[in-house]
């Protein structure tokens, strides 16, 4: 189990094994999470590391498309995965009115 010593200035060096396990490089930031007398060290991920995570390579999506997807997802969650609306209006009617399957 890796360990390190705290200096008189309250500093410590993260052991190589820890830096490698967390993929930490010089200049990276870490966060200390204190819970029940123990400390967890977690990397602080800059937004630049998340670039491309939500990449979408398709036609533009409108707000209406997003709302329809949310409504249909809620209906499937309530009525079962095999439920599929015949029209967007049916999905909205079911979501708002709570009507069951046809």
Instruction: List, in order of start, the domains of the chain with CATH numbers.
Output: 1-48 (2.10.260.10), 63-97 (no CATH)
Determine the Cα–Cα distance for residues 91 and 102; give it in Å rounded to an integer: 12
Token pair listed for 26:
């010089």
User: How many CB atoms are closer than 10 A to CB 93?
Assistant: 15
pTM: 0.46
Q: What is the pLDDT of residues 59-98, one digit of tens each?
A: 998 998 888 888 888 877 877 777 777 777 777 777 666 5
How far apart, in whole angstroms, are the C-alpha atoms of residue 20 and residue 26? 12
- 27-62: pLDDT as tens digits: 999 999 999 999 999 999 877 777 777 788 889 989
């Amino acid at each position: 189990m890796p360990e390190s010593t705290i200096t008189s200035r309250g500093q410590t060096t993260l052991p190589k094994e820890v830096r490698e396990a967390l993929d930490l490089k010089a200049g990276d930031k870490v966060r200390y999470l204190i819970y029940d007398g123990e400390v967890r060290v977690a990397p602080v991920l800059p937004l630049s590391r998340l670039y491309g995570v939500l990449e979408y390579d398709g036609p533009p999506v409108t707000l209406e498309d997003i709302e329809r997807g949310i409504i249909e997802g809620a209906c499937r969650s309530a009525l079962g995965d095999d439920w599929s609306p015949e029209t967007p209006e049916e999905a909205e009617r079911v979501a708002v009115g709570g009507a069951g399957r046809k």
